[in-house]
Amino acid sequence: MDSATKDEMQPSLPPGSSCPGSEWPEQERAEQLARGAALKWASGVFYRPEQLARLGQYRSREVQRTCSLEARIKSVVQSYLDGVKTGVWQLAQAFEAVQGAREALGQAHGLLQGMAETTQTLKPLREQVAQHKQLRVLSQLLPRLWAVPAAVAHTQTLIDGHRLLEAYACLRELEHLQEETWASLEGLELPVFEGLGPLAEALGRAVEAAAGAAGQLAREDPALLVAAVRVAEVDAGYMASLEPAPRDWGQRCLQALQEGLERTHFGTPLLPEPGALAEWLEALRVALPAELAIAEALVAPCCPPHYKVVQLWAHTLHSGLRRFLQQLLEGPGLGAADAFTLLHWALHVYLGPEMMGSLELGPEADVSQLEPLLTLENIEQLEVTFVTQIQVSSWGPGTEKLCHQLWACICRVACLPISSRISALLHPGPLRPFLQANVTQWLQRALDGEVAEWNREQEPGTDSSGFYHSPMPAIVLQILEENIRVTSLVSESLQQRVHGMALSELGIFLRSFSDALIRFSRDHTSGEATAPHYVPYLLATLNHQSALSSSVSGLQPDGAASGALAPVEIALDELQRRICRLVLEALLAELQPLFAALPSRRWLSSPELLDDVCERTARFCQEFRRVRNPAAQLLLAEAERMVVLQYLSALMQGRLVCRGAHERTQVAERLQHDAAQLRELFLGLGLEESVQCAPVLLALRDLLNLSDPMLLGLEVAGLRQKFPDVSEDHISALLDLRGDVSREQRLAALSSLQAGPQPSPSAGRRALFSLVPAPTPALSSCLPSGPCA
């Protein structure tokens, strides 16, 4: 296709017009696509020369198509023009109608302004008409309005006479008249009705007063209570239809019921006096179930079911009691008895079968789901108060006299059998003040009473078995056991607190007991206050320790920690050792002058010296039969060991040196004889042979009786195996006693002491030589590596 053909096919734009693509990019792009499509079509159709002959046909066909399109476009444009013409005509018609309506409204506005001016002239006439209507209504109501003051006075008289239903009926008539008058007079309030407000308030107070005394009225005048409740309920139903309700007598009636009940039982502002709390709680124990029974039997039938009178009574009493107890705890501190009584009452009595848990009360009286009377903080506060009070409370007036009055009774009860003793403690009697006194002072009092008897001219008392006996251990245990036993009735936590306090006080008591023994011994030995029966009273205290030690486990409540008694047991063991030491010191004071003559030439030739020792020991130890086992066996064993230790100490002092074999034989024989004599002595006193220490003398006899000094090393090694605590100083002292050991033989014997096999440990072996002082030997007789070098 040539360029001329292409130019003919392209449409021409009218002169002066711009390209539409400059304003409509989409139109330009569409034209370009159309031109491209046309060129593509033309190139395809006229590609071959033989088809150019048909160009005229194609041109005429396109002209026809163009003409058809132009005709259709003209038809569409013509239809649009016709529609626009019709719309313009309709707008002209509407404009004319609006102009007409505007003129009509202007005319109507003028007419209305004229009518408003005319209406203002009729306003006085309308006021006259309203006044005429009010006067007509007043003329009709005038007889009834004149009777209003008399009706108000009559209603007040009915209220004063407790005729509440009639008073309420009169009040309602007056209020109905007031409403009718108010509606008829279009809201005009008349002064004649000013007394209705105070009258209604007076009737409301009368209803509240009757509801507040519901318990009393249910017994004395149930009709008045029923009338008050009916008035409150009827008025509540009537007032529910009014918006807003000016009064709520139903709610006020319920509130009055609660307030009256609380005022009856908890209305007094004065708290119970110290010591009077138990009586007050006992009165409540009787009064509260009785109040609930009255509510169920008498008050509930007088009230509608939705009041739930029994539940209301129970919850009100519970809440009032809870608030009162909170006030009580916030006030002055309670004493031990009051704290204990309140804990026991609140935790056990209140919800128990005697009170709120009674089977006679219905399920509505159940208060177990409400807040507890005492919070956990209150319980802890009361427990701490109780423990503190019974532990450290001060002496009050007359307490000293009370102590003297109770002391004889305590002593008598302590001597009773266990069953009788428990009975005396459980029942009210002369011991009850004793149980309420504080622990510290009573333990100190018991100790003071015991110490006061130590300087008496009489020997300690004995029981039916002949053992020394005093009521002091039983008193101490009774004091502690009673407090622990009583607190178990309250709660486990209080029992644990008191148990801990009791063990602490017992530990303090044992330390005070030990200190008192030390002062007693010091005063006796120094001569300031010589006790006529010093040793018997020491032995009696050993029986006290045994009694306490055997019974202290009874203080342990169920569930307590297993190691809680450990400090007390340690203190008891220490007390036992101290008593034994004091007794042995007394025995030592008698025997030391006798052992001062051992060993000597006289001792070799005569047994008189040891006979004196045995005689005095036997006489001293005869008192041990007054001591109960196992303390008596322990005391005998310690006494026997002390005698042997004194014997060994005398041998180690170097007072005797054998001059020859004959004297060594005499010493060996004397040792054998003395060992046998001591063995027989303590066997006769009741000490088992297996625990005696006298066999050590036989071992020393073998060492001294050895004829060949060259074999001393073997004997020394054997002695070390039997008695591991023997030292070089002891061996040297024994070799000095032989008198025939040269320096080389001594060194050889001491070397065997170190070179020999170490003795096997024995758990039951008691210290012996380590308690025997030995003189320090000369340096020439010591080993270079020995402790004496």
In degrees rounded to 5, what are phi and psi of residue 462?
Answer: -125, 160
Instruction: Identify the CA nearest to 171 among candidates 247, 244, 223.
Output: 247
Helix (H) or strand (E) holding 730: helix 728-738
Least confident window among 215-219, 241-245, 647-651, 677-681: 241-245
- Specify whether the CB–CB gap between 234 and 207 falls below 8 A: no
- The torsion region of residue 559 among left (phi > 0), alpha (psi -120 to 50) and beta comes to left
Q: So what's the pLDDT on residue 558?
A: 64
460: exposed, middle or buried (Cβ count in 10 Å: 0-12, 13-18, 19+)? buried
Q: What amino acid occupies position 468?
A: Y
- Specify whether the CB–CB gap between 771 and 645 falls below 8 A: yes
Q: So what's the pLDDT on residue 559?
A: 61
Place of tokens 């109040």: 291
- Specify whether the CB–CB gap between 682 and 690 falls below 8 A: no
What is the pTM (predicted TM-score) of this model?
0.60
Query: Cα dist. 90→20, 82, 83, 93, 103 in Å?
Result: 36, 13, 11, 5, 20
CA-CA distance, 563 to 500, in Å (whole number)?
12
Residue 433: other Cβ atoms inside 10 A: 13
Q: How confident is the model at residue 402 (pLDDT cuts 50, 70, 90)?
A: very low
- Specify whether the CB–CB gap between 474 and 414 falls below 8 A: yes
Tens of pLDDT, residues 694-727: 889 888 888 888 888 788 888 888 888 888 888 8
> Which residues contact residue 537 at a Cβ distance below 8 angstroms, ignoring those fewer than 6 apart?
453, 454, 460, 520, 531
- Specify whether the CB–CB gap between 338 and 275 falls below 8 A: yes
Q: How large is the average pLDDT for residues 500-528?
A: 86
Q: So what's the pLDDT on residue 242?
A: 55
Least confident window among 429-443, 529-543, 754-768: 429-443
CA-CA distance, 582 to 642, in Å (whole number)?
12
DSSP 584-649: HHHHHHHHHHHHTT-SSHHHHH-SHHHHHHHHHHHHHHGGGGGS-TTHHHHHHHHHHHHHHHHHHH
In DSSP terms, 375 is beta-bridged to: none
Tens of pLDDT, residues 610-662: 889 999 999 999 888 988 888 889 999 999 999 999 999 988 888 888 888 88
H helices present in 437-491, as ranges = 439-452, 472-487
Q: How large is the average pLDDT for residues 736-754?
A: 83
Taken as a whole, the chain contains a residue count of: 789
H helices present in 653-727, as ranges = 661-685, 695-705, 712-722
What angle, 0 to 180 degrees and rounded to 10, lies between the N-to-C axes of helices 661-685 and 695-705?
170
Least confident window among 13-17, 95-99, 519-523, 546-550: 13-17
Using the predicted structure, report yes or no on whether residue 5 has a pLDDT greater than 80.
Answer: no
Tens of pLDDT, residues 464-495: 888 888 888 888 888 787 777 777 777 778 77
* Token pair for 320: 């009032």
* Token pair for 518: 């030390």
What angle, 0 to 180 degrees and rounded to 10, lies between the N-to-C axes of helices 712-722 and 728-738?
130
CA-CA distance, 365 to 293, in Å (whole number)?
10
Q: What amino acid occupies position 279?
A: E
Using the predicted structure, report yes or no on whether residue 783 has a pLDDT greater than 60.
Answer: no
Residue 101: other Cβ atoms inside 10 A: 9
DSSP 26-76: HHHHHHHHHHHHHHHHHHHHTSSGGGGGGHHHHHHHHHHHHHHHHHHHHHH
Mean pLDDT for all residues in the chain: 78
* Token pair for 175: 């209020």
